Amino acid sequence: MFRQAKWDEPLIFELSREGRVGYTLPKPIEDVDVEIPEKLRRKSKLGLPELSEPEIVKHYTRLSEMNYGVDSGIYPLGSCTMKYNPKINEEIAGHPGVAYVHPYQDERTVQGALRIMWELEQWLKEITGMDRFTLQPAAGANGEFTGVSIIRAYHLDNEEPQRDEMLVADSAHGTNPASAAMAGFKVIEIPSTEEGTMDLEALENAVGERTAGLMLTNPNTLGIFEDEILEIAKIVHKAGGLLYYDGANLNAVLGKVRPGDMGFDVVHLNLHKTFSTPHGGGGPGSGPVGVKDFLKDYLPVPLVSYDEENDRYYLDYNVPKSIGKVKELYGNFAVMVRALVYLKVMGKEGLKNASEIAVLNANYLTRKLLGTKGYELPGKKLRKHETVFSAEPMKKETGVTAMDVAKRLLDFGLHAPTVYFPLIVHEALMIEPTETVSREEIDAYVEALKRISEEAYNNPEVVKGAPHNTAVRRVDDVLAAKKPVLSWRMYLELKEKGEVDY
Amino acid sequence: MGKHYLPNLAQRDEMLKEIGFSSIEELFSDVPEGMVKEFNLPEGKSEYEVFLELNEVLSKNKTVLEMPSFLGAGTYFHYVPAHVKYLIERSEFLTAYTPYQPEISQGMLQALFEYQSMMAELYGLPVVNSSMYDWGTAIAEAALMSVRLHRGKRKRFVIPKAISPEKKAVIETYTRGANLEIVEVPWDERGQLDIEKLKESVENSAGVYVEMANFFGLVEENVREIGEIAKEAGAYFVVGADPTMLGIFEAPGELGADIAVGEASYLGNPMNFGGPRAGVFAVRNDKKLIRQMPGRIIGMTRDAEGKRAFVMTLQTREQHIRRAKATSNICSNEALVAVASAIHLASLGPKGLRELGEVILKNTAYLKKRLGEVAEIPFEGLYFKDVPARFEKPYSEIHEALLARGIHGGYYIGKHFPELGETALFSATETTRKEWVEVLIEALKEVA
Ligand SMILES: Cc1ncc(COP(=O)(O)O)c(C=O)c1O
């Protein structure tokens, strides 16, 4: 049985003891007299904790022991591609030539960094069938905003300001509509069919002279390949719109199919998913955006270019219609380094193998689980890199929800799938094993899901009361929203008033 | 290559057979004819070969450990204590996703709650999100938020002209879709924000942004007064501050900020050629403001047994629930960068943060004094980290001459601020060595 560490670890503020220090600092290089004007000098309390280094190390080590990562076990969060993060990536990313380099250094002193960015772009171009990339976006959503801003700039440039509608699939990730809205678009949702793919008739009816574009991921968030993608592209292009590829699901077709060949004009990728860089408990990520040739003049500045004659890489600000910047500087460079290391190790065959095994694993899991009481598989049976089951029958028959199933999985030391997404599937369990888990791990996952089904029908309380074996029991998120305690400061105030007893 | 990451490659055919497929191609039968292609990519390599290759490429970078560097202008060389790096490399933190399942992710949630709490202390505002992409996007989000708080009826956002060109460009791109009017307030003859000009532009603005030290490193003397002017005009007051200032300078919250932003990666994180970074985003404890906040927020609550626990909260603001009506599109953030900054802050404590601020302040003052021997400092006043130095000669010539001597000079700002002429920003932090300043000044005496 899995048992997660339960440390009852106090907040670091509660561990504080006056006078302890966890640092040493160099002395000022000269003891210059500097006066801070009275009205600017800090007078308010600075309630930081006071601890020594060994205490700090123990505190965070204990916290880490109450956290589950890809290295702890299977982490099949659908849409997140939680594949193994190779250790060589970390080793190279820790090189002083990464860490101790300033972004404004003279180009001649950062040829290595620029070359890494340029090389990464060449890989990404071939992988996606796009002609030019920016590596500036910090994550997928930042990339989406970049992409749709480029689409907006393009239409404005073509004197078509009326193109203010962005179409998104009803199965789309929330960032798609949110990014489009941020770029000033009105968002129109296109429904999916029973089969789980885009409803072409609805798409035909939705497009028109106000259509700026369509945002789509392929395979879609059900893990189903949009087999009418060429028809979709035709409809959108004929209406004068552009096609945007949300690359969150690229792991399904990596090294096999290129979004550019599907008809997409703009693509964002998630280096923190498909390209094996660690997700850091929420970030940093990196969300490069690639475009077809006719859009490259709108990319953010600077791009990285190569001057062959002088064998020189340089930051290229000569982007005539650039949308500007979506993030400071050049993007999350240390993440790019990791992705390039991964690509170089994998190579052409390796990438193809990765997506094939990812798809095999998802289908293997699907077929093994299919027919288990309480779970059903909406849409087509053939999946790509992920699969979405619905626990709707289980909920109807036993009251056990997808969330309960997720929590119970934790008890077995298995991370839950993504739940309640995509929104079009009730009680969704979205499972993406990735190519880096073994068959035995998938078998164990299926076994656990089957066992939970049995429990749901025979002993539902054990599922509804899950998890039992994690650092804490089911967390009260309703209370968290009703009585926000968002910092130590707020906690102390509420505690004083007797409003919290935890 | 890369077979060592793919356990099931060896069982591929067996597994296919077991689920009734005869080939991998069959799994891709839904892909239209001819769409599966052979890619034109290099073959994979052994780990050792990649290790050698990347080490060679990276050794082409000249690091600030190998040449005295005076670059700052928004990115600074700070020292990261070894234990900070060591702790955030723990795979339980490093390889986890966003903590969607709180019960099995308490470690990251608590670490992020502590980050929020420490930043709340620094900035004097009790509500902090668990990070934005960087300082620049945090300002842009604050601009959008202040417009939402005015229900879109006010669309003007005021920024200082003495702002980093990086940040300004981000603000412009982020706010174009919402049709914001970005108004710049110039500096006066002392380099301070021009209060009279501010009064002229503030009318009908949704928000006013100011930085506690402007892009030129000059400490802004009238932050509180600027806030009063903003508030009088009904605008939200947004204050930007470098966290390393806040041990010695008053907290933005105490100076009247409704929203405060900053760059967390200055603590606990290396420069990494500019990224990753993490934006601080803090607000007053006011429901109206909290409801319009972007980004993920970690809250304290209890579990089914009444024990303290942490969870992502107030999510109805966010994209996965509100979609097109979300307060922001942000999903993945910069969590690990934020945790690194928190570990560094915990190590410094109140005394250490004060000392760090003092060391930087003194080193900056020393650098300014020495630069004054060879160049003109355009504005008198108190500087933090950056110091502008104006030369007679084109700065590019000086830069070349310094580089030839193995010194990296400052960041030329004449391109963005032509009114300042041949001016470059030179920067000092706690990492600056006296010998470096010595060689810099000696070299400048020869070449400037
Ligand atoms: C389908 C899809 N699109 C976009 C995103 C957003 O990516 P990020 O979290 O990197 O901003 C995600 C990530 O969860 C996703 O699953």
Is the same domain home to B369 and B338? Answer: no
Is the same domain home to B118 and B193? Answer: yes
The answer, yes or no, to whether any atom of ligand 1 lies below 6 A from the CB of A285, is yes
Q: Which of A44, A183, A416 sits opposite B250 (nearest CB)?
A: A44
Give the CATH number of the domain where residue B393 resides.
3.90.1150.10
Closest C-alpha among B55, B86, B276 to residue A97: B55
For residues A451-464, average pLDDT: 98
Strand, helix or coil for residue B328 = coil
Is the same domain home to B290 and B364? Answer: no
Is the same domain home to B24 and B104? Answer: no
The shortest C-alpha distance from B192 to chain A (Å) reads: 14
Contact A432, A386 (CB under 8 A): yes
Cβ of B273 within 8 Å of Cβ of A101? The answer is yes
Nearest CA in chain A to B55: A92
SS (H, E, C) A279-313: CCCCCCCCCCEEECHHHHHHCCCCEEEEECCCCEE
Residue B15 within a domain:
yes
Give me A20's structure tokens. Answer: 């302890």
Is the same domain home to B281 and B219? Answer: yes
- Check: CATH 3.40.50.460 for A108-345? no
Query: For residue A138, which phi and psi values (nearest 5 degrees)?
Result: -85, -20
pTM score above 0.90: yes
Cβ of B103 within 8 Å of Cβ of A486? The answer is no
Residue B218 within a domain:
yes
Each residue of A125-154: b (16+ CB within 10 Å) or e? bbbbbbebbbbbbbbbbbbbbbbbbbbbbb
Residue B326 within a domain:
yes
Nearest CA in chain A to B165: A328
The answer, yes or no, to whether any atom of ligand 1 lies below 6 A from the CB of A139, is yes
Is the same domain home to B34 and B113? Answer: no
Is the same domain home to B161 and B308? Answer: yes
Domain ranges of chain A: 1-67, 108-345
Residue B70 within a domain:
no
Say which amino acid occupies A377: L
Contact B100, A406 (CB under 8 A): no
- ipTM rounded to 2 decimals: 0.98
User: Residues for chain B: how many in total?
Assistant: 448
Q: Pick out chain B residues at pLDDT < 50.
A: none
Cα B184 to middle of ligand 1, angstroms:
34
Is the same domain home to B332 and B377? Answer: no
**Domains identified in chain B, total number:** 3
Residue B247 within a domain:
yes
Say which amino acid occupies B155: K
**Last residue in a domain, options B344, B361, B382:** B344
Contact B287, A459 (CB under 8 A): no
Which region, left, alpha or beta, applies to residue B80 given φ > 0 means left and ψ of -120 to 50 means alpha? beta
| pLDDT tens per residue, range A172-202 | 999 999 999 999 999 999 999 999 999 999 9
Distance of alpha carbon A152 from alpha carbon A213, whole angstroms: 9
Is the same domain home to B369 and B339? Answer: no
pLDDT-based confidence at residue A77 (cuts at 50, 70, 90): very high
Residue B363 within a domain:
yes
Q: Using a CB-CB distance cutoff of 8 angstroms, which residues of chain A are in contact with residue B177?
A: 149, 152, 181-185
Cβ of A356 within 8 Å of Cβ of B135? The answer is no
Q: Which of B7, B101, B362 sits opposite A31 (nearest CB)?
A: B362
pLDDT of A142 above 90: yes
Give the CATH number of the domain where residue B136 resides.
3.40.640.10
Give the residue, by CA position, lying nearest to ligand 1 atom 5: A140
Is the same domain home to B90 and B239? Answer: yes
Domain that holds residue B404: 350-447
pLDDT of A20 above 90: yes
Distance of alpha carbon A113 from alpha carbon A105, whole angstroms: 11
Cβ of B121 within 8 Å of Cβ of A47? The answer is yes
| pLDDT tens per residue, range A93-119 | 999 999 999 999 999 999 999 999 999
Residues 451-480 of A with CB under 8 A from B: 465, 467, 470-477, 479-480
Is the same domain home to B335 and B360? Answer: no
A155: how many CB neighbours lie within 10 A of its CB?
A: 20
pLDDT of A441 above 90: yes
Residue A225 pLDDT: 97
Residue A1 pLDDT: 83
The shortest C-alpha distance from B242 to chain A (Å) reads: 14
Atom of ligand 1 lying closest to residue A217 CA? 1
Best mutation site among B141, B301, B337, B433 for testing chain A: the one with the most A CBs within 10 Å? B301
For residues A66-76, average pLDDT: 98
The per-residue pLDDT of chain A, averaged, comes to 97
Is the same domain home to B339 and B369? Answer: no
For residues A431-438, average pLDDT: 98
pLDDT-based confidence at residue A74 (cuts at 50, 70, 90): very high
- Beta-strand runs (E) in A115-204: 132-134, 165-169, 186-190
Closest C-alpha among B218, B159, B213 to residue B183: B159
Q: Give the residue, out of B318, B329, B332, B336, with the most ligand 1 atoms within 8 A of its beta carbon, to mutate for a pocket test.
A: B332
Atom of ligand 1 lying closest to residue A270 CA? 10
Closest C-alpha among A421, A428, A375 to residue A397: A375
Q: Which of B6, B50, B253 sits opposite A344 (nearest CB)?
A: B50
